[in-house]
Each structure stands twice: as C-alpha cells, then as structure tokens.
Amino acid sequence: MAKLLSIRVRLILLVLVPSILYLGTSIYLLQQSKSHTEVLASSLYETTDKSTSLILNADRDMYQALTAYQLLVSGTLNAEDKTKQLKVLAENIEQTNTRVGQAHDILKAKGLLQVAHMETKATIDQNVDGFQTSFDQWVKEANAVVQSGAVGKGVINDAKLTATFEKGREGMNQIGEILDDYAKTSIEEIQSKIKKTEQAVYISIALLILVLTISGGIVISMIMRTVKAIMLVTSQVAAGDLRHEAKTKYAKDELGKITESVDTMVLKIKGLIGTIAHNTQFVQDASVELSDSSKESASAAEHVATNIQEMTHDVEAQARSSQETSRAIEEMAIGIQRVAENSSVMADHSSLTSKHATLGNDLLSKLQQQIANMLASVEQLSQTVLSLTRKSDQIGLIASSITTFANQTNLLSLNASIEAARAGEHGKGFNVVANEIRKLAAQSIESADGINQLIHETRVEITSVSDSMNATKQEAISGSTMMQEVNQSFHTIMASVTQIVTQIHETSAITEQMSASSEEISATMDQSASSTTHILMKSQNVAAATEQQLAMMQNIAAASEQLRSVVNTLNESVAYFKIA
C-alpha cells in the first residue's frame, strides 16, 4: 500500500494527519471548556448564588417577623403601632414563604433537591419540608398569641415557640451549608476534569510528535537515498564517466521516476557522444577542404572586385563631372534666360520711363510758365497794395482835415452861443442854430475818429498783406529758379534714358541668342550625363555583385574556420568522456 502512494500523497498526508488531529483536539478542548464553563456558571450563579441569596433573604424575613411578633407581645405599642407591626409581621411571613418557595423551585429545576448534607445526610427537600412545617407551626402559634392579646416577658421568651422558630431556621441554615458544599464539590470536579483534559492533550501532542517524527524520518530517508544515488550518477557524468549501468527495477513513486529519468538521460548522452565521436572526423576533413577552396575563391574574387572598384571610381568621377557640368550649364541657361527676361522688362520700363520723362518735362515747362504768371500776378497785386496804402494815407489826411474842421466848427458854434446869449431875446434863434452846429461838429469828430480807426486797421492789414506778398514773391522767385534747374535735370535724364533704352534692346537681343545656345549645350550635356549615369549604374551593380560574392566567400572561409574550431572543440569534448 505504501508503494502505491506517491511522494506528493505522502507529504499531503503528513500535513493533513497532524492538522486533523490538532483540529480535533482543539475542538474537543473547546467543547470541554465550554461545557465546564456552562456547568460552573449554572451551578455557582443560577443555582448556588441565587438560591443562597433567596435563603438568606428568607432568613432575614424570619427575623423581621420574629421582631414584629416580640414588639406586638411586649405591651409597649399603641394602637397605631400595633396595627403597623401586625402588617409587618404578615408581610415578612409571606415574603419568607415566597422566597423559600422560589429557592425550592430553582433547586428542583436543577435537580438538586436530593443533595444531602455532609453530616446530617438530610437532603435539601427534607430540610425545606422541615422548615416549612416548623415555620408554619410558629406562625400559627405566634398569630394565636397575638390575637389572644397576651403580653409580657413570659410570652416573648416562650421556650416552646422559640424552639419551633429555631428549628425552622436550622433547616434554612442546613440548606445554605448544602449549597456551599455543592458549589465547592462542583468546582473540584471541574478542576479534575480540566486536569484530565490537559493530560489527554499532552498525550495527543506527544503521539502527534512521535508520528510526525517517524513518518518524516522515513520519508526523508527515502528522499536522501534517491538524492545520493542521483548525485553519484551526476558527479560521474560531470567527471566524463558515462559507464554507469541503468537499474532494472525502479520504485513506482516520483523518486523512482526521477532515478529512471536520470539513468535514461545518461544512456542518451552516452549514445550522443558516441555518434558525435564517430562523425567528427568526417566533418573535420570536409571543413579543411572547404576552407582551402574558399580561400582560393576569396583571393580571386578580391582581385576582380579591386579592378571593378577602380573602374567604378573612374566612372563615378566622370559621371560626377558630367553632372556638375550639366548642372552648371543648366544654371547658366537659367541665368541667361532670367537676364533676357529682365532685359526685356527693363527695356519696357525704360521706354515707359522715357515717355514719363518727356511728359514730366512738358509738365515742368507748363509749371514754370504758371509760376511766371503767378509771379506777375503777385507783382501786380503788390502794386495794388502799394496803391491802397497811398490812398489810405490820403483818406487819413482827409479824416484829419475833417477833424480839424469839426473842432473849428465846434469853437465857432461855442462863440455863436456866447454871442447869442449876449444878444438876449434876439439871439435865441441863433443860439438854437449854434447848438445844432455844435452837435453836427461833435458827430463829425466822432465820424472822423471812426474813419481814423478804420484807416489805422486798414493800414495794418495792408502792411501784413504787403509783407505776405513780398514773402510770396520771394518764394515764387526761388521756385522759378528751382524749376529751371529741374527742367535742366530732366533734359539730362531724358538723354540718358534714351541711350539706356538703346543699349538694353541690344543686350536683350544678345541674351536671347545666348539662351538658345545654352539650351542646345544643356541638352547635349544631359544626354552625356544620362549615358554616364547608365554606365555607372551597371558598373555599380557589377561591383555590388562582386563585393557580395567576395563577402560570401569570406563568410564561407570564416565559417569553415569556425567549423574547424568547432570540430576541434568537439574532439576535445568527446575525448573528455569515457564510454567504454
């Protein structure tokens, strides 16, 4: 069965078995701890603590009932206090019965009523019954005493009633002791179970370690045996010893397959080395012969390639020269063509310039005549301004005379007024005439003053116009002189333009003839360059083919040398191995 299991399955089992055991142990421990914890909580809290608390509270209620009874029979209470204590007695009796009943129900639900006291061997159920009997009897007797109205220390210290009360309380105390003993016993049992669980865990861990150690040792031993065998074979192969004999039987697992594969590999290498050793000599002879032939072919091809390269260089130089000459002639033809076109354009522009120069000369002549006319007009206008100046001076003299006459008339009218005043009544009419004359004289003076003012303004304006006319006259004289100089320059320009037009027409005819000749030369050079380029292409093709052949021969030679080197290396490598 173990032989059928592979190494992988064994390793998987080696991992799974401890994992499963560890998982099962952990689950078991968790369940045990949970169970013990639940038991402990249920026993100590829900059962012991709660029940004990109820029992203690019931015991306290009993004492409170006893105290209320003693107060009632003491005879020291008034009616109100007595009623109050009767109520307290009834309530404590009821609470005692209720709490004892609750504790009884809890213990019954947990199945603890038959737990016995360690000394008296009385069970909880028996103690509850004894308490209930004694307490009911005490309640009955105490109520009877209270209803009878008996009072005094004898009633309070009634031995029989006190014994009945203590007997019931004794049952309560035994129940508390039973619960304490039960809790202590439960804890001891849980601790004992925990110890047992720990022992089981330790034992399972020890078994697990033992199983892992044994199974791991077995698997490791198997793996190491196989590894050592493989290392021995591979070290022999590395040392060149291929005389290893394959096994006849192998294991069915992966280790057996690895051993079988290594033995098969050694056998294949042994066969391969034998084949290589057998064929190496043939390859060596062929490589020597191929190397010699390739060297001779390479030498001849190199000689041919050298001659073809020299011819190619010469043809290339001739082709470049032809191309450069053709390109220079084409450029010269283009330049001549442009010169011819520019000459034609210049001839046209020169003719147009000559026409415009003639027209400009005519316009200058007309302008010069107009400037002369304008100068004459300015001269005439200057004479007119001088005449106006003289006439304004004459008007000024006349205005001065009028002013003088007006002043004299004013004096005469003043004298006439004086004489009229002397004449008295006969001089009144003459006085009126004298006043009117004086008014006319005043108006004449005012008019003369206005005329003098206007004459003064006119003189100022005439003086300004005269200055402007003199400046205009000088500018017109300067413009006339400049126009004469421009007219002379235009005559010179017209003569030069006429001569340039004649020369440009002659140059245009010459350049057109040169352009036609250059086009014929360019066509001839293009044809020559095309032929040279065709020859160059063919020579380049031949050179490329020769160079390719030379390169191939060199590659063959290099390959044959490399093949010889490989054969030598193979011989050395094969000699390293021992196959027989």
Sign for the CA dihedral angle at 566, 571, 572, 573 comes to positive
User: For the chain, how far is it from start to end, CA to CA, in angstroms?
Assistant: 41
Q: Residue range 376-386: average pLDDT?
A: 77
pLDDT value at 178 more than 80: yes
| Burial class of 575 by CB neighbour count within 10 A (0 to 12, 13 to 18, 19+) | exposed
For the stretch 124-146, pLDDT in tens is 888 888 888 888 898 888 888 88
Compare 497 and 453 and report the one with higher pLDDT: 453
For the stretch 399-452, pLDDT in tens is 778 778 778 887 887 788 788 788 877 777 777 887 888 788 788 788 878 887
Long-range contacts of 496-504 (CB under 8 A, 24+ apart): 497/350, 497/353, 497/354, 497/357, 498/354, 500/350, 501/347, 501/350, 501/351, 501/354, 504/343, 504/346, 504/347, 504/350
Would you state the pLDDT for residue 448?
A: 75
* 469-478 burial: b if 16+ Cβ within 10 Å, else e: beebbeebee
pLDDT value at 523 more than 80: no
Q: If we measure between CA atoms, which residue out of 173, 165, 143, 8 comes closest to residue 73? A: 143
Q: How far apart are CA 365 and CA 356, in angstroms?
A: 14
For the stretch 167-176, pLDDT in tens is 887 877 888 7
Partners of 116 in the beta sheet?
123
152: CB partners within 8 A, 6+ apart: 73, 75
Q: Residue range 494-520: average pLDDT?
A: 69
Q: How far apart are CA 374 and CA 370, in angstroms?
A: 6
Give the mean pLDDT of the chain.
75
For the stretch 283-297, pLDDT in tens is 666 666 666 666 666
pTM of the model: 0.36
Q: How far apart are CA 14 and CA 7, in angstroms?
A: 10
Mean pLDDT: which of 334-338, 350-354, 358-362 is highest?
Answer: 358-362
Q: Are 412 and 438 in contact (CB under 8 A)?
A: no
Would you state the pLDDT for residue 263?
A: 80
For the stretch 361-373, pLDDT in tens is 777 677 778 777 7
Number of residues that make up the chain? 580
Would you state the pLDDT for residue 1?
A: 47
Compare 462 and 553 and report the one with higher pLDDT: 462
- In order of 11, 377, 384, 517, the CA distances from 380 in angstroms are 143, 5, 6, 71
Would you state the pLDDT for residue 2?
A: 46
